Structure 1
Amino acid sequence: MMTTKYFLALFLSFLALTTMAQEESDIVEVYGLILTKGQSAQYAYVPFVTVAVKGSTRGTYANYEGMYSIVVKKGQTLSFSAVGFAPRDIVIPEDINGMYHTLTVEMEPAEINMEEITVFPWPDRNNLAAEFLAMQPNRAGQLEAIAKDNLDKKQLLAVANATDMDGKESSIQYLRQQASDYSYQGQQAPQSIFDPIAWGKFFNQWQKKKRTPKEEQMIKILEGENGN
């Protein structure tokens, strides 16, 4: 009976190690440079390119010199995107030998075609004011309403929250987080609850606050109890 249990435990351990080894063999670190060909036919670095694993929430970004590094599974797809360049999707080969794979990516500049517009300058401000006042009242009201909606704080905040950070913003956020981690490395970050200055500001704001009748009544009751 003991021999059977021993062989069963040994078999399960071997099966677990085999599964872990197989999973580790599927993982590879992909690194390299992201370049683009300039007008002089010479290659230049593309900084702060977003590198994402397609179909997942994992990703990273290239540094200022276009260098990147990310750990993925063989067969997954990497998406490279940057403002002003056409996005690229590259599938990581499944027949890679080893745990490292070099991948140099060339980004193509994206051409944005805009509709042709004609700008008519006015001779002076007086003519501009006269033409503006001569506009139809309904049209002027519509333009004013559109301008107010576009400049509304809630609208601007909603657009900002719905817009993803680009490579530069991501790098700034990452560097700030690193600086914060290094500043408090080996010790706990300070807590505002133990800060006497923060408590002083809190009490000052609380004293300036306009009290409700119920609060005034409670304060009088407490003062009377303390007096007794």
Structure 2
Amino acid sequence: MPMKRTLRYFLIIAVLGVSVHKTAVAQQINPNPYRDSIVQLFGVVMTADSLRGVPSASVIVEGKGRGTITSQDGVFSIAVLKGDRITFSSIGFKDKTIVIPVDLKENQYSVIQLMVSDTTYLPATILKPRPTREQFERDFVNNTVPDDLLETARKNTDEAQRRILVNSLPADGREAVNFQLRQQANKAYYSGQVPPMNIFNPAAWADFIKAWKRGDFKRKK
């Protein structure tokens, strides 16, 4: 008799183990039983107080790494699955989360999401002006600046350093376009005639002499 009871308990435990294993495997294969139920979620995101559309509000599907943003009028449309959690967020408003019904019979779901303003109170800041202009100038001149910041400012304003940066750094898009436009304007200005040569330009000679005195033409080691 004890042997039969032991065998019966063993069979019950074995059946339960197989059932639990099948359930676990099924959940791993299909963690969302509604993954094949695609729903077109669309609607409008509006403010709760004035019923105005919220532009560029984020509509995120939690845990899926995808979403969309609303248009200028607060309208949006996105494909989701039954059972998905949708989070609406926008700067200045409290986040709102909804769940797509799992028993939805149609493949479309529309919402009008109202966003409540999120008020943030900052600590008070009191601004007091200096009593006189002379006191301001005195405090400004006597203000202590750390040596590292002062040295950085001195390097940034050094003339030789700025010339090296100008000659070494490539031109950005705006500088390249301006240079091209200046060349085209210069070509159109002297169209039909010989352009002047800089060898007879006194301003060009003055720039050359200044550059020669600075040592711009010295051979760099």
Q: Tell me the TM-score normalised to structure 2 length.
A: 0.48
Higher relative CO (CA 8 A, sep ≥ 6), structure 1 or 2?
A: 1
After TM superposition, the score normalised by the length of structure 1 is: 0.47
